[in-house]
Amino acid sequence: MPSAGHSAAPTGFAYLGPEGTFAEAALAHLTRSLGAVDRSAQPQPSVGAALAAVRSGACRAALVPMENSVEGSVPATMDGLVDGDPLVVTREVFLPVGFVLAVRPGTTTGQVRTVASHPHALAQCRARIAEVLPGAEVVPTASTADAARRVAAGEHDAAVCAAIAAERYGLDALVADLADHPGAVTRFVLVEQPGVLPEPTGADKTTVTAVIADRTGALLDLLAEFALRGISLTRIESRPTRERLGVYSFSIDCEGHVADARVGDALAALHRLCAEVRFLGSYPRADDHPGKPVDEHVGDDAFAGAQAWLTRVREGRAV
C-alpha cells in the first residue's frame, strides 16, 4: 500500500541528478508540457533515492531512466519499481543523449592531458576519445555534470558531458558529437504513486512485471495471452529473481492501455497464470511509432459484444 502520512506536501519533481545532466533537460521539457504549476526539480543521488522521494511523499513524481539504446535497460529502475510500495509510470520521455567534448575556452586538443566523465559516458565514447585524444589519461567522475564542473574548476582538461552541462559551466564544445555510436536515445519514465490513471489516448503503452514458474512453456503461455488478444510487446526482459533459483521475472512493455478491453483482459489472465504480477502503469507512448492497428476482433466493441452474448447464453436466452 502507498505510504500515508507524508511529512510535508510534495513540492515537485525528483530526478536522477546532478544538475546539468540529460535528465534535468528532459524534466524541464516534461513539466512544461504537463502544465505543472510547481516545477521545482530536486536532483537525487540515485534512482533509488528518487523513487524513495516519491514513495515517502516528499516529491510528487520522479523522472528516472528506464533504458538506453546503447547501454540497455537500467536495473536500478526496473528493480526499484518492483521492490517496495507500488509506484506507476505515468509518462515516458525519449531524450537523445549526445556527448560533447567540453573544455575551458581556448584549450586545444593538443593541450588535453586528462579527460573526465562518468564511466558509462567514457565507455560510449571510448573509440572516439582514443582517436581524438590518443595520449590523454581517462579519469572517472561521479557524473558527466561533475566532470564538467571539475574541468571548469581546472582539475581536469576535458569533460565528456551533455551540451547543457558544458553551457552551464562555461565550457566550449571541442567536439560536438563524441559518441562511438551516434544517435543514442535514453528513455526516461515519470513515476508517481498510484492514483487516477492517465487517460487512454489511442496510442499508449502499459508496463507490467510478471513472475512465472520454472516450467518449459510457461513464458510461451504468458506471451500467448498477449498474442491471442492482438497485443504487441515493445520490450521484454527476463530478470533473475534473487530469492528463488530457477524462477524468472519478466519485465514487459506492451501496446495499449489497461482501460482497453484487450489489455485489461490480458493482464487479468496474467494475474491468474503468474505467481506474481505487478502493474506498473499505462501512459501515452512518446516514441514516434504509431502502434499496430487494432484488429476488430480484439477491439472494445468485440469484447463488449462477446460479454453480452455470454450473459445471454448463461441466462438461457436465444444463442
Q: Does residue 230 interact with its own copies by CB under 8 A? A: yes
Answer yes or no: are the C-beta atoms of 1 and 57 closer than 8 Å.
no
Bridge partners, 206 (sequence order): 254, 282
Q: Does residue 306 interact with its own copies by CB under 8 A? A: yes
| Residue from the set 84, 96, 202, 305 that interacts with its own copies by CB under 8 A | 305
Give the containing element (helix H, strand E) for 176.
none
User: Which is nearer to its own copies, 132 or 223 (by Cβ)?
Assistant: 223
Closest CA to 277 of 265, 267, 290, 288: 267
User: Which is nearer to its own copies, 120 or 168 (by Cβ)?
Assistant: 120
Answer yes or no: are the C-beta atoms of 137 and 115 closer than 8 Å.
yes
Q: Does residue 84 interact with its own copies by CB under 8 A? A: no
Q: Does residue 195 interact with its own copies by CB under 8 A? A: yes
Q: Does residue 4 interact with its own copies by CB under 8 A? A: no
- Piece of the chain touching its own copies by CB under 8 A; list 6-14, 24-32, 53-61, 66-74: 66-74
Each residue 129-168 as x (binds its own copies by CB under 8 A) or -, in order, gives: ---------xxxxx--------------------------
| Residue from the set 6, 32, 228, 244 that interacts with its own copies by CB under 8 A | 228
CA separation for the pair 116, 129 (Å, rounded): 11
| Residue from the set 128, 231, 249, 285 that interacts with its own copies by CB under 8 A | 231
Q: How many residues does the chain have?
A: 319
User: Which is nearer to its own copies, 170 or 305 (by Cβ)?
Assistant: 305
Answer yes or no: are the C-beta atoms of 111 and 158 closer than 8 Å.
no
Number of residues that bind its own copies (CB under 8 A): 88
Can you list the pairs that 271-275 forms with residues at least 24 positions away whose Cβ atoms lie under 8 Å? 273/212, 273/221, 273/222, 273/225, 274/210, 274/211, 274/212, 274/222, 275/211, 275/212, 275/213, 275/247
Q: Does residue 2 interact with its own copies by CB under 8 A? A: yes
Q: Does residue 8 interact with its own copies by CB under 8 A? A: no
User: Which is nearer to its own copies, 34 or 184 (by Cβ)?
Assistant: 184
| 295 to 65, 235, 298: CA distances (angstroms) | 33, 21, 6
User: Which is nearer to its own copies, 27 or 78 (by Cβ)?
Assistant: 78
